[in-house]
Amino acid sequence: MTQNSFKEATIASTNRDLLTSAHWGTYWVDVSDGRVTNLRTFEHDPDPSPIGHGIVNVMDGPLRITSPAVRKSWLEHGPGTRGDLRGQEDFVSVSWDEAERLVATELDRVRTQHGNDAIYAGSYGWASAGRFHHAQSQLKRFLNCIGGFTSSVNTYSYAAAEVIMPHVLGDFSSHLERLTCWEVLTESCELFVAFGGLPVSNGQIGQGGVGAHVQRAGMLSAHANGTRFVNVSPMRSDALDQLGADWLPLRPSSDTAMMLGLAQTLIEDDLHDSTFLDRYTVGFERFAAYLRGDTDGIAKNAEWAAALCDIPAARLRTLAHDMAAHRTMISTSYSLTRQEHGEQPIWAAIALAAMLGQIGLPGGGFGFGYSAMNNNGLNRRYVPYAALPQGKNPVKSYIPVARVSDMLSNPGGTVNYNGRTLTFPNIRLVWWAGGNPFHHHQDLNRLRAAWARPDTVIANEWCWNSLARHADIVLPCTTPLERRDIAMTSKDPFITAMDPAVPPVGEARDDHVILRGIAARMGVEDAFTEGRSPDDWLHWIYETSRESAARGGITLPDFDTFQQQGWVRVPLPEKRVILMEQFRTDPETYPLKTPSGKIEIFSETVAGFDYEDCPGHPAWLEPLEWLGRATLEAPLHMISPQPKTKLHSQLDHGIVSRSDRINGRAPVLMHPKDAAERGLAEGQTVRIFNQRGACMAGLKIDESIRPGVVQIATGAWYDPDGPTCLHGNPNTLTQDRGTSQLAQGPIAHSCLVQIEAAKCETKPKIDNPPIRSKLRSAKLACG
């Protein structure tokens, strides 16, 4: 009953080589003596990512979790024991039988004594590609069978946009998913203004599986055809050298001010498109009054903006004129949302694009997230594929995802969110599968304190990362290379068989199998499986998706043929994708889903919430932490973008991620001038610190960063030594506050710090699995 899909496979074997797909690409898999030895490039990918190779040496390495494990004092004394030791204490191996019994008993205790809303399983995170073995879907489906759980809404990626865009454009996802494609940009875009740049390294990723990487080719072909690029970012390296982009190295978090300065310049010089504004938008006059300064006596002109963003006013004026004179795409990165008032740059960019009047035209308008993901600007059809049904969650309580520490530490407290007031439930049990809050959350020292409060923390993980180490019960799961699945997402034209290449390592089980075992103990196995085996589910998902594709005129092979072939590429759409083309052509027949049916440059709904941190139109609201408020204690602005060598914290222990370490720590980039002021040298171990915490990092001196700004990618496994991370996780430093009362999104990029030479060289401890080593002493070396 509790076997992995590898062992019970009923799908006929094929003669082809083994395939796999991941969020970072598709690869052929070489196996020898029951071990994965190599991943080979998929020949249809013109720009393959190296990230995949990171898995080979860690699948069965010392940090693999090979049996269920329970934190020592929890095992000895039961739920609620020494939550403060989470992340410090060692684990004891137990049998699956014991692990299932402990989990089932504890779930039952919590739901009967405290109610299902005392279980938090928002379980945010990227997990792995694969339609069936999607960890969160499995976990949520299971919990819905036993009465539900407190959930979360929105993402860490762009919560501010997810909440503001529906007020401005009627919905979020269609405007996210249907960006004007690179082919149309190549043909028609004359000027591409990239707020947040176009870091091609981020385009390695596409959620749910990537067949062919297109971002680099897309931007290079536009450039070759004459598109001029402007890189508005504190990093020159946020645009490929070959693009020859103009670099506007603004202060981080000042994009809104810069956009308002451009908008006011258009008004002053009568360059805005009144015909477009009248027909397709509402509220421009209210916004224009603010820009002119009618409301507060301050004209948001180029000089005003220049003082905030530190780009000369003359350059802003020239740019505004250029934008009005050319077919212009205004691109905003996701990173702009992950800062205080992250709603504003997105709204301001849409307002600015509306003033240029090119929305819905080929090559013009706005686009959110070019190069942030491989699928943004990828010309493709949108096929609504089937997913594992999650069932219904009877529990109504939820949080905006980034408010997790607030919830855990403040039961009964409230939070304002998008016009509502939510009450935090009293969480007694946390269950995470497929995400890593000790990677993704801000102010990890604060999270640790909040995390100490619940009685029990359960984690499904495959490696001893920072999440597993902060759990009480660790349930070891398989990696995609140990199970059969299908990579199939509307974000990518390739559908790929994910073959089980090797048997599960140690006693690892698929998440589905783990949950099925617990479901059996709780009397809900039939509800959880519906009598289907994993292979039956794969058939069901594939065949249901095939029917859905057929309704859209796309013929897919039957399941067996697909398995034999290994992959399928869905044909291109008949018409190239242009964002909001239909709305522009016929706004009466295709109105937006806003109250007015038009683009809301002023939103009565948002204004009606009466939030001082998110008024009814785009506005400049000064953040608490940015260079405009730098202090002697924290004079540097730290940005913590996505890592080039991995996805978030995944495979951080693998060779690809480890290749960029300096003295075993993540690199931090600093301008030579800032390094010289501090007497710091390339390759030195430094301590980055502020009032919230500290992390050690290896110094990399880099001229392509704006002075006063430092950059350290996210993803180094959090390795706490008191308030200091020895390994270079920037979330020891970031602020854990919401973007505003509207979206309550995360604000990792709004962060001031100081940097000094490290006073001691304590090595990261993260390579010691907490199950074998002796109890570590609590003595702090560097804290």
Ligand X SMILES: Nc1nc2c(c(=O)[nH]1)N[C@H]1C(S)=C(S)[C@@H](COP(=O)(O)OP(=O)(O)OC[C@H]3O[C@@H](n4cnc5c(=O)[nH]c(N)nc54)[C@H](O)[C@@H]3O)O[C@H]1N2
Q: Name every residue whose Cβ is closer than 8 Å to that of residue 316 and which is 6 or more positions away in sequence.
A: 258, 261, 262, 265, 302, 305, 306
Q: What span, in angstroms and rounded, lies between the C-alpha atoms of 475 and 460?
A: 5
Q: Which does 754 bind (CB under 5 to 8 A by kind): Mo ion, ligand X, none?
A: none
Say whether 686 sits in a helix, a strand or coil: strand
Identified catalytic residue from 126, 280, 334, 537: 126
Nearer CB in complex with ligand X: 356/647: 647
What's the closest the beta carbon of residue 203 comes to Mo ion, in angstroms?
13
Count the site residues for ligand X by CB under 6 A: 63
What's the closest the beta carbon of residue 372 comes to ligand X, in angstroms?
4
Q: Which stretch binds ligand X (CB under 6 A): 89-97, 388-396, 730-738, 766-774?
A: 730-738
| 126 annotated active-site | yes
Tell me: does residue 335 bind ligand X (CB under 6 A): yes
Nearer CB in complex with Mo ion: 137/157: 157
Amino acid letter, residue 200: V
Tell me: does residue 126 bind ligand X (CB under 6 A): yes
Q: Which does 135 bind (CB under 5 to 8 A by kind): ligand X, Mo ion, none?
A: ligand X
Q: What span, in angstroms and rounded, lies between the C-alpha atoms of 102 and 488?
A: 35
| Contacts by 529-536, CB closer than 8 A, 24 or more apart | 533/5, 533/8, 533/10, 534/5, 534/8, 534/132, 534/133, 534/483, 534/484, 534/510, 535/5, 535/8, 535/9, 535/10, 535/11, 535/484
Q: Which stretch binds ligand X (CB under 6 A): 25-33, 433-441, 543-551, 572-580?
A: 433-441
- Reported as type and span, the H/E element at residue 535 is helix 534-551
What's the closest the beta carbon of residue 23 comes to ligand X, in angstroms?
8
Cβ pair 189, 363 in contact under 8 A: yes
**What's the half-sphere exposure (Cβ side, CA atoms, 13 Å) at 452?**
12
Q: Name every residue whose Cβ is closer than 8 Å to that of residue 139 and which is 6 or more positions away in sequence.
A: 121, 123, 431, 433, 434, 460, 511, 515
What's the closest the beta carbon of residue 404 comes to ligand X, in angstroms?
11
Binding ligand X (rule: CB under 6 A), the pick from 223, 448, 644, 737 is 644
Tell me: does residue 199 bind ligand X (CB under 6 A): yes
The stretches of 627-751 forming alpha helices (DSSP H) are 655-658, 672-677
Q: What is the largest CA-CA distance in the chain?
A: 75
Nearer CB in complex with Mo ion: 207/410: 207
Tell me: does residue 133 bind ligand X (CB under 6 A): yes
Q: Which stretch binds ligand X (CB under 6 A): 88-96, 375-383, 577-585, 729-737?
A: 729-737
Q: What span, in angstroms and rounded, lies between the C-alpha atoms of 57 and 509?
A: 20
Tell me: does residue 711 bind Mo ion (CB under 5 A): no
Among residues 414, 505, 435, 337, which one has the least CA distance to residue 136?
435
Q: Which stretch binds ligand X (CB under 6 A): 159-167, 282-290, 457-465, 677-685?
A: 457-465
Identified catalytic residue from 124, 290, 347, 451: 124
Nearer CB in complex with Mo ion: 337/460: 337
The two beta strands, 720-721 and 685-690, are unpaired
| 158 annotated active-site | no
What's the closest the beta carbon of residue 151 comes to ligand X, in angstroms?
16
Q: Which stretch binds ligand X (CB under 6 A): 100-108, 295-303, 331-339, 753-761?
A: 331-339
Torsions phi, psi for 583 (to 5 deg): -60, -40
What's the closest the beta carbon of residue 310 comes to ligand X, in angstroms?
12
Torsions phi, psi for 414 (to 5 deg): -125, 160
What's the closest the beta carbon of residue 331 comes to ligand X, in angstroms?
10
Could you tell me the two tokens for 723? Answer: 């308030």
Tell me: does residue 442 bind Mo ion (CB under 5 A): no
Say whether 651 sits in a helix, a strand or coil: coil
Q: Which stretch binds ligand X (CB under 6 A): 25-33, 108-116, 639-647, 682-690?
A: 639-647
DSSP label at 67? Answer: S
Number of residue whose CB is nearest ligand X: 641
What's the closest the beta carbon of residue 701 comes to ligand X, in angstroms?
17
Q: What span, in angstroms and rounded, lies between the C-alpha atoms of 35 and 501?
A: 8
Displacement of CA 674 from its chain's centroid (Å): 30
Q: What span, in angstroms and rounded, lies between the C-alpha atoms of 755 and 694?
A: 9
Residues 232-261: x/- map of binding to ligand X (CB under 6 A)?
xxxx--x-----------x-xx-x------
Question: Would you say how long the chain is, in residues?
Answer: 783
Q: Which positions lie near ligand X, rule CB under 6 A?
A: 125-128, 133, 135, 156-157, 195-197, 199, 201-202, 204-205, 232-235, 238, 250, 252-253, 255, 333-336, 338-339, 372-373, 433-436, 439-440, 460-463, 465, 467, 477, 511, 639-644, 647-650, 714, 730-731, 734, 748-749
Residues labelled as active-site residues: 124, 126
Q: Which positions lie near Mo ion, rule CB under 5 A?
A: 157
